[in-house]
């Protein structure tokens, strides 16, 4: 029984630190934040902070864990089809729309590049697996790695623009625009020789 209470205290402390960091990112940007700012906002001691996290980047990435879990759950549920990349992009836009403050803090202009690199990495890994299965049957003059990097970086660029500009476009509209911009080139490469 005491173990569960300790687990809840640990969870509360970690959540308090994560919430404090996200609030601060939205207020003044990730690069301007210090560990002292976070512990002051969360009302915890320095030793408590360092008992849970190595630095502010580690704290930021801990908030990314549930996004990674979302990615993994999405990937596990998908069967690989020609629609797979576009279903993933729609799902990601929808998730960002539902958790806009979190995404703005992690992937917007105030979040720095730490979380963006991780989001792009997970997107890249999934797409690469998908494209490696599709490309051997198709043209081989563009490597799956190059094509994957292009799709993932295009998505991240459009996502960050959407988050940073408080656009009124819906997730479905953004995914449609993404598809209109990227899909014709991808389809051309994916056509059989």
Distance separating alpha carbons of residues 117 and 128, to the nearest angstrom: 16
Domains: count for the chain: 1
- Residue 28 included in any domain: no
The DSSP code for 43 is: T
Contact 102, 21 (CB under 8 A): no
> Would you write out the chain's pLDDT as a tens digit for each of its 193 residues?
455 556 888 889 999 999 999 889 888 888 889 999 999 999 999 999 999 999 998 888 887 776 667 666 766 665 555 566 677 788 888 888 887 877 777 776 666 677 778 778 878 887 887 777 776 555 557 788 888 899 999 999 999 899 888 778 999 999 999 999 998 888 887 776 6
- Residue 11 included in any domain: no
- Residue 33 included in any domain: no
- Residue 4 included in any domain: no
Domain span holding position 174: 57-190
Residue 154 belongs to domain with CATH number? 1.10.357
- Residue 18 included in any domain: no
- Residue 32 included in any domain: no
- Residue 25 included in any domain: no
Question: Structure tokens of 148?
Answer: 């994957």
- Residue 5 included in any domain: no
The closest alpha carbon to 38, from 52, 9, 67, 59, belongs to 59
| Dihedral, CA of residue 70, residue 72, residue 76 and residue 80, to nearest 10 | 100
Distance separating alpha carbons of residues 126 and 121, to the nearest angstrom: 9
């Amino acid at each position: 029984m005491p173990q569960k209470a300790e687990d809840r205290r640990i969870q509360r402390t970690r959540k308090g630190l994560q919430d404090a960091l996200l609030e601060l990112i939205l207020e003044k940007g990730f690069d301007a934040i210090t560990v002292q700012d976070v512990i002051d906002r969360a009302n915890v001691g320095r030793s408590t902070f360092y008992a849970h996290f190595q630095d502010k980047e580690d704290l930021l990435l801990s908030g990314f864990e549930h996004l990674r879990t979302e990615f993994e759950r999405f990937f596990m549920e998908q069967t690989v089809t020609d629609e797979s990349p576009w279903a993933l992009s729609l799902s990601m836009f929808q998730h960002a729309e539902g958790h806009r403050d979190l995404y703005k803090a992690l992937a917007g202009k105030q979040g720095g590049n730490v979380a963006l690199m991780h989001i792009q990495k997970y997107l890249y890994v999934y797409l690469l697996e998908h494209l490696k299965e599709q490309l051997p049957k198709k043209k081989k003059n563009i490597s799956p790695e190059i094509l994957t990097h292009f799709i993932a970086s295009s998505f991240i660029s459009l996502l960050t623009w959407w988050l940073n500009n408080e656009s009124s476009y819906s997730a479905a509209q953004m995914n449609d625009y993404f598809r209109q911009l990227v899909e014709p080139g991808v389809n051309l490469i994916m056509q059989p020789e």
